[in-house]
Structures are given as structure tokens and as C-alpha cells.
């Protein structure tokens, strides 16, 4: 009988502790380019349950990551979306975001936002641009760590999951 484990790949799954170092490297590659907020190893371990990862082949390092940060009873953030250059253009970014949106729905979250330099990607997923000033103060806690604070040049987008 043939072993079909490879048929499950590529795979979007919840992150595990063993994924943190590769995820950290991937995120920080984009952070060095000014495209993402850097994440420390301790922060990734602390928020491990927030993340989904892309595993292209069994046993290899993850090649994509995306997080769902819960902000309030009805609001969450899509954060730290990164896909390795080798895997871009294959729909994995969308699948990672879809996994986070699915979890938001399971948790009863009605609205999801993101801050991004690639608004076109999220607009194709149904997000719409909003004024950053409409987002709660709690959200800006991460912004204080950003080297671009207070002159943020990211675009804020929102998706209403009830529509």
C-alpha cells in the first residue's frame, strides 16, 4: 500500500514550537526590508497559538506564516503575514489569511483588520480601507514598537465577517 502522506502537502496548519525559529527568520527578513514589524523569538513563543504556518514538504522548515491577534470581543487583527519568495504567487498568502479568518469566525469575532503596505492583496480578499483613527487605542500598543511610529505609512483595512 502506497504511503500518501505527501499528498497532504503543501499544508496550512497551526504553528508549533518547532516552527518558531524558521518563522522568526522569515518574518525578520521582511522586517529588515521595512515591510513588517519585527517579532522577537520570545514574542513568537508567547503568541504561538495565534499563528498558522505553511509547510510545503513534510519535515522541512515553514515557508509562510500569518497571525490572528484578538483585540476585543468583536475585533481581531491579521498580522505578520509573510510567505517565502520561493512560494509567492501560488495562493499561499490567501490560504494563510483564510485560515485566520476561519478561526476568527469560530471564535465569534465579527470584524478583522490589518495594517499593510500591500493593500491591493487584502482588497482582493474583501477588505476595505478605513481610517487608522477609527481603530481602538489598544491596537496601537504594537505601533509603539515600530521604528516608523508615529508617522505610520501603512494602510488600514477592515473586513466585516457578518457581511
pLDDT for the residue 133? 78
pLDDT at 49: 97
Q: Report the number of distinct structural domains present in the chain.
A: 1
Closest CA to 113 of 163, 75, 73: 75
In this prediction, residues 1-6 reach a mean pLDDT of 54
Q: Report the CATH number at residue 53.
A: 3.40.630.30
Q: Per-residue pLDDT tens for 50-73?
A: 999 999 998 899 999 999 999 889
pLDDT of residue 1: 46
CA-closest candidate to residue 135, choices 108, 154, 162: 154
Confidence of residue 4 (pLDDT cuts 50, 70, 90): low
- In terms of residue numbers, what domain contains 121? 5-160
Please state, as a whole number, how many other Cβ atoms lie within 10 Å of the Cβ of residue 15.
Answer: 21
Mean residue pLDDT across the chain: 89
Amino acid at each position: 500500500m502506497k504511503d500518501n502522506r505527501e499528498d497532504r502537502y503543501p499544508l496550512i496548519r497551526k504553528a508549533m514550537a518547532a516552527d518558531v525559529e524558521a518563522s522568526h527568520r522569515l518574518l525578520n527578513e521582511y522586517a529588515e526590508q521595512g515591510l513588517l514589524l519585527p517579532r522577537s523569538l520570545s514574542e513568537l513563543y508567547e503568541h504561538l497559538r495565534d499563528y498558522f504556518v505553511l509547510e510545503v514538504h513534510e519535515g522541512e522548515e515553514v515557508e509562510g506564516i500569518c497571525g490572528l491577534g484578538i483585540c476585543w470581543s468583536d475585533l481581531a487583527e491579521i498580522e505578520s503575514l509573510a510567505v517565502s519568495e520561493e512560494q509567492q504567487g501560488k495562493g499561499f498568502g490567501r490560504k494563510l489569511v483564510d485560515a485566520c479568518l476561519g478561526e476568527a469566525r469560530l471564535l465569534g469575532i465579527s470584524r478583522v483588520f490589518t495594517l499593510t503596505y500591500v493593500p491591493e492583496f487584502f482588497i482582493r480578499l474583501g477588505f476595505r480601507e478605513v481610517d487608522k483613527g477609527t481603530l481602538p487605542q489598544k491596537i496601537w500598543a504594537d505601533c509603539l514598537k515600530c521604528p516608523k511610529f508615529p508617522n505610520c505609512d501603512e494602510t488600514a483595512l477592515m473586513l466585516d465577517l457578518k457581511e
